[in-house]
Structure 1
Amino acid sequence: MSQDLDTMIREMREGVPAGRVPARIFNDREVFERELTRVFGKAWCFLAHETEIPKPGDYVTRYIANNNIIVARDEKGEVHAHLNMCRHRGNMMCKSEMGNASHFRCSYHGWVYKNSGELIGVPYFNEAYDKKLDRKQFGLVKVRVDSYAGLIFGTLDPDAESLEDYLGGFQFYLDIYLKQGVNGSEVHGPPDHWVAETDWKICTENFSGDGYHTPVAHQFGFHLGYFPSSGSTHSKGWAVHIPGKGHGIGLGHTPGMQPFFGYPDDLVKQMHESLSPKQLEVFSKTRTAVGSVFPNLSFLIQPLSLEPGDPGVRFCTMRLYHPVGPGRMEMWSWCLVPKDASDEYKKAAYQAYTLAFGQAGTFEQDDFENWTKVTKMTGSTLARDVDFPYIQGLEREPLTDFPGPGYAVEPYVTEDNFRNLWATWARYMEGE
C-alpha cells in the first residue's frame, strides 16, 4: 500500500541529500492539488515580459496555477496584475489573451473596472443599491507584482519575501538572457502555447541543466552538425545553483571555440558594456546556457548551425510550464532577442528558435516524446513506491574560485542542481 502524501514528502526531504527522489511526484492528483496552494500559492511566478505590454492599455492574460490573471499597463505606464474575475458574481472579465483597453466591462451584469483595477461603473447604482455600495471595496482582486530586467513576476502571497531576495543572486545568470544588449531584451513574435500530457516539474528539471540527455535524446543534432560540440566535449562546463532557492543553470563549454561565438560583432561589443567583468568571464566561454527559475520558468541560449563547422546563430527561448492537472500542463514558449540587435539577426535568431524549440521544433519534439512517456509511466500504481537515483556528483566538492554566486561544480553533466531543486520543492510542499 502506498504511503500517504505527508509521509512521502517527509521521507523525500530526508532522501534527497542522498540522491533519492520518489517517482510519484511526477504524476499524482494529491501532489498536484497541494502544489496549487503550497508551491504556486507562495512562490514568485512569471507572468509576462514588459515588451508584451509596451503601451498604456496593453494587457495579456496569464496564469498562476488555476488563477487567471490580467496583466495590464495603466494610463500612467504602471504595470498591474489582477484576478480576471468580476467581484459581483465571479464572471471572467477579459476573455481575450491580449489586447488594449483602458477599462474592462463584465459581460454578465455590466460592472466596469479601470485597467488599474478600480471599480468605477455599476449599473443602476442609485436604484438597485440606493447609492450605498462602497465601490472602493470591490475592485478587482490584486496580485502583488515586481520585475527584474523586463520579467514581470507575481505572487499570491502578500507576505512573500521580495523578488530580489527570492532570486537570491540568480540575477547574475539571468543577465545572459536579458542583458545581451545595452537596452535589454524583447519578445520577438507572439508566444507559442499548447497543452501536453506531461508534468511541469519534469520540464523544470530538464532545463535546470540536464546536459546528460542531450547526446542521447538529441543525437541527430551531433550527427547533422547542428551543435558546435561533439559527444566527447559535450560535458565540459559548469553547473550552478542557488542553495535553498531551487534555481539552477547549466553552462556548457566547447574547448577552443571563439569567445561569444554565434553572436554578431556589434552584440559582442554591447555585452562588454551591459555585463560585468565576472559575467563576461563566465559567459564568454559558454556554448549553452540552460537554466530554470523555480518553480516553472526556464531559458535556453545555444547556437544552431545548419552547416558543419559553422558557429551558427545564437537564439534564446523563454519557457513557462503552466500546470493544468496531474500529469498535464500548458506549455508557453517565447523567443527573446536583444532590443538593439539588427533586424537581420532578430530574423535569423527567430528562425533558429522556431526550428529548434518552436511548437513543432525538432528538439522540442524529442523532449516532449520523452516527457510524456515519463509522465505516463510514473502515474502507474506500481511506480508510486519507486525511487529514482539522483547521485551524479553526489560527492563532488564545489568550486572555490568560480566567478559567479551560488554553488558551482564541474563538469556540466551532474545532478547537483536537481537535488537542490527537489529539496526546495519538498520544503514548499511541507508548508515552510
Structure 2
Amino acid sequence: MTALRDSTALAEWVSRTRAGIGEGRFPARAFNDEAVYALEQDRLFTKAWCFLAHESEIPSPGDYVTRAIANNNIIVARDEHGEVHASLNMCRHRGNVMCKSEMGNASHFRCSYHGWTYKNSGELVGVPYMKEGYEGRLKRKDWGLVAVRVDTYEGLVFGCLDPAAPSLEDYLGGFQFYLDLYLKHGLGGVEVHGPPDHWVADTDWKICAENFAGDGYHTPVAHQFGFNLGYFPSSGTTHSQGWAVSVPGRGHGIGLGHSPDFPAFGGFPDELVAGMKEAMSPAQAAVFAQTRTAVGTVFPNLSFLMQPFSLVPGQPGVRFVTMRLYHPVGPGRMEMYSWCLVPKDAPQDYKTEAYRAYTLAFGQAGTFEQDDFENWTKVTRSAASGLVRDLDFPYVMGMESEPDPDFPGPGHAVRPYVNDTNFRTLWSRWGDYLAGEA
C-alpha cells in the first residue's frame, strides 16, 4: 500500500488520480484516507462556495442557525434590517464559542467567558471594563466577529471562506437552470418544512455526493422493493430512461429520470402547477414536463432529490423534495443534514403529505435512506482496507456518449440517465481543487 504521508507522495497521487479520471478510473482510497481528507479541508472547502442554510430557516430579524464549512463553526443570522450575515462562531477576545445553540433568536451574542458582546451582524458593541482595563488601546471596530462571505440564490444561502473566489453566480455556472426545478414550485418559491434531520455517520461525504449527482444505476437494485411494491411510478426497465446532465468545469450534475407514461408535473396539486409554469422559463417547463425524478448535486456537497412517492403502494404518488448536505468531520465520517422543501403557496394538506412522503422515504429513518446508508458505510469501510487502497473503480459508462441535440436545457446532456458522465465531471472538478488549480 502506497503511503501518502509526505507532500511529494500526495501530489504525485493527485496527479495520477486526475489522469485516471479522464480514462474512467477513480481510486478507492479517496473515499477514506486521512491525507486526502486533510487536503480536501485545506484546498477544497476553504475555496468553494458551500451551502449554509435556507433563508426560510431564519425568516425573522434575530433568527439564527449554526452551521459549518470545513472545521469552522459559523453563525448564520438575520439582522434587524433583514440582511443575512455569516460569522465565525468564535469570540475575538480568547476564542470561546459564542453561540452554543444550533438555532434560535437573538439580537446580540454575549461570550460566556469574559462577556464581550456582539450584534448578530458581527460588530463588537460591548466590552466589560473597557475604560478601566484597556485605557483606550482597544478599538471595538477592529475586533468584530470574523465575517464569512455570503451570497444567495432563490433562498439558498452559501458561504465562501476565500475572499478572492469567483462570485456565486459564476461558481454555479448555469446550474441555476436545474436548481429552479427544485426551488421554483410556484411564484412564492419553496420553504423548509420543520428543522433538518441531523445525524453523524461513518460514511465518506463523496460517496453521497456522487450518488445524488445522478446514480440511477443503484436504484433498481438497492431499492428494488420500491418497484415491486408500487412505491415508484416506474419500473426497473423504464427507470434508466432520461438524461444525465453536467456542467463541465464546475462539477455540478443532475440525473433526470423520464417515464413516457408519467404525467407532466405529476404529483403536484393542479392549482400549484400554473404558478410553477409561470415561475419557470419555457425551456425549464419543457424539461420539467419530461421529468419524473430529478436527483442532483451542487459541487461539492449539497444535493437535491425530487420524486413522486406513493404513500399507498400502487396509488398516484405525491411529489416531494429533499435537500441534503454532507459535511465531512473526519476521514470516512460526516455529519448529515436533510431538509424537506415544500412550496410556500401549496395547500397545507399537500405540504403535510409531501413531508410524510419525505419522512417515510428519505428522513433519518426512511426506508430508502436506510438502504443507501447501509451500502455507503460498507463502501467507506472497504476503502480503508490495506488490500484495496491502491485499486481503482471503473467509471467508464458513457465514455463515448454524445450530447443529445434535442434536449431543451443547457449543459452537457447525455442519454440514458444511467451513465457515469456526471461522476467524471464531479471528480474532475474535485481534482482541480486538490491540485490547487481551482
Q: Same fold (TM over 0.5)?
A: yes
For 2:173, the aligned partner's letter is: G
Give the match for residue 10 of structure 1: 15
**Equivalences, count:** 432
| Distance in 1 (alpha carbons) for counterparts of 2:324 and 2:269 | 24
Q: Unaligned regions of 5+ residues in structure 1, if any?
A: none
Residues 1:74 and 2:97 are matched in the alignment: no
The DSSP-based 3-state class of the residue aligned with 2:292 is: strand
Residues 1:263 and 2:275 are matched in the alignment: no
| Distance in 2 (alpha carbons) for counterparts of 1:68 and 1:307 | 42
State how 1:279-428 maps to structure 2 within 5 Å.
Answer: 279-428=284-433
Task: Give the counterpart of 1:221 among 216, 219, 226.
Answer: 226
For 1:2, the aligned partner's letter is: T
| Distance in 1 (alpha carbons) for counterparts of 2:10 and 2:319 | 43
State how 1:181-220 maps to structure 2 within 5 Å.
Answer: 181-220=186-225
For 1:396, the aligned partner's letter is: S
Give the match for residue 56 of structure 1: 61
Give the match for residue 168 of structure 1: 173
The DSSP-based 3-state class of the residue aligned with 2:177 is: helix
| Distance in 1 (alpha carbons) for counterparts of 2:198 and 2:313 | 31
Equivalent residues of 1:198, 1:375 under 8 A apart: yes
Equivalent residues of 2:186, 2:272 under 8 A apart: yes
Question: How big is each residue's C-alpha offset from its partner over 1:375-397, in whole Å with a ceiling of 9 and x where there is no partner?
Answer: 00001111210000000001111
| Distance in 1 (alpha carbons) for counterparts of 2:277 and 2:159 | 31
Residues 1:26 and 2:31 are matched in the alignment: yes
The DSSP-based 3-state class of the residue aligned with 1:258 is: coil
Question: How big is each residue's C-alpha offset from its partner over 1:99-150, in whole Å with a ceiling of 9 and x where there is no partner?
Answer: 0000000000000000110001001101110122011111000000000000
Equivalent residues of 1:228, 1:310 under 8 A apart: no
TM-score, normalising length from structure 2?
0.98
The DSSP-based 3-state class of the residue aligned with 1:372 is: helix
| Distance in 1 (alpha carbons) for counterparts of 2:231 and 2:359 | 14
For 2:332, the aligned partner's letter is: G
Equivalent residues of 1:32, 1:326 under 8 A apart: yes
Q: Unaligned regions of 5+ residues in structure 2, if any?
A: 4-8
The DSSP-based 3-state class of the residue aligned with 2:75 is: strand
| Distance in 2 (alpha carbons) for counterparts of 1:5 and 1:221 | 42
Question: How big is each residue's C-alpha offset from its partner over 1:146-187, in whole Å with a ceiling of 9 and x where there is no partner?
Answer: 000000000000001000000000000000110011010000
Q: Which moved more, 1:266-275 or 1:411-420?
A: 266-275
Give the match for residue 6 of structure 2: none
Shift of 1:401: 2.8
Question: How big is each residue's C-alpha offset from its partner over 1:341-385, in whole Å with a ceiling of 9 and x where there is no partner?
Answer: 000000000000000000000000000000000000001111210
Amino-acid identity (%): 72
Shift of 1:12: 1.1
State how 1:137-156 maps to structure 2 within 5 Å.
Answer: 137-156=142-161
| Distance in 1 (alpha carbons) for counterparts of 2:179 and 2:338 | 17
For 1:330, the aligned partner's letter is: E
For 1:213, the aligned partner's letter is: H
Aligned-pair Cα RMSD in Å = 0.8
For 2:421, the aligned partner's letter is: D
Residues 1:237 and 2:263 are matched in the alignment: no
Shift of 1:308: 4.4
Which consecutive segments of 4 or more residues in structure 1 shift more than 4 A? none
| Distance in 2 (alpha carbons) for counterparts of 1:94 and 1:308 | 45
Residues 1:129 and 2:134 are matched in the alignment: yes
Task: Give the counterpart of 1:97 among 97, 102, 108.
Answer: 102
Give the match for residue 158 of structure 1: 163
| Distance in 2 (alpha carbons) for counterparts of 1:134 and 1:249 | 49
Equivalent residues of 1:180, 1:270 under 8 A apart: yes
The DSSP-based 3-state class of the residue aligned with 2:305 is: strand
Shift of 1:37: 1.6
Equivalent residues of 1:225, 1:306 under 8 A apart: no
The DSSP-based 3-state class of the residue aligned with 2:389 is: helix
| Distance in 1 (alpha carbons) for counterparts of 2:303 and 2:97 | 29
| Distance in 2 (alpha carbons) for counterparts of 1:189 and 1:67 | 25
| Distance in 2 (alpha carbons) for counterparts of 1:114 and 1:148 | 25
| Distance in 2 (alpha carbons) for counterparts of 1:307 and 1:87 | 55
Q: Which moved more, 1:249-258 or 1:67-76?
A: 249-258
The DSSP-based 3-state class of the residue aligned with 1:69 is: strand
The DSSP-based 3-state class of the residue aligned with 2:40 is: helix
The DSSP-based 3-state class of the residue aligned with 2:268 is: coil
| Distance in 1 (alpha carbons) for counterparts of 2:321 and 2:334 | 22
Q: Which moved more, 1:120-129 or 1:255-264?
A: 255-264
| Distance in 2 (alpha carbons) for counterparts of 1:251 and 1:310 | 22
Task: Give the counterpart of 1:86 among 65, 87, 91.
Answer: 91
Shift of 1:309: 3.9
The DSSP-based 3-state class of the residue aligned with 2:388 is: helix
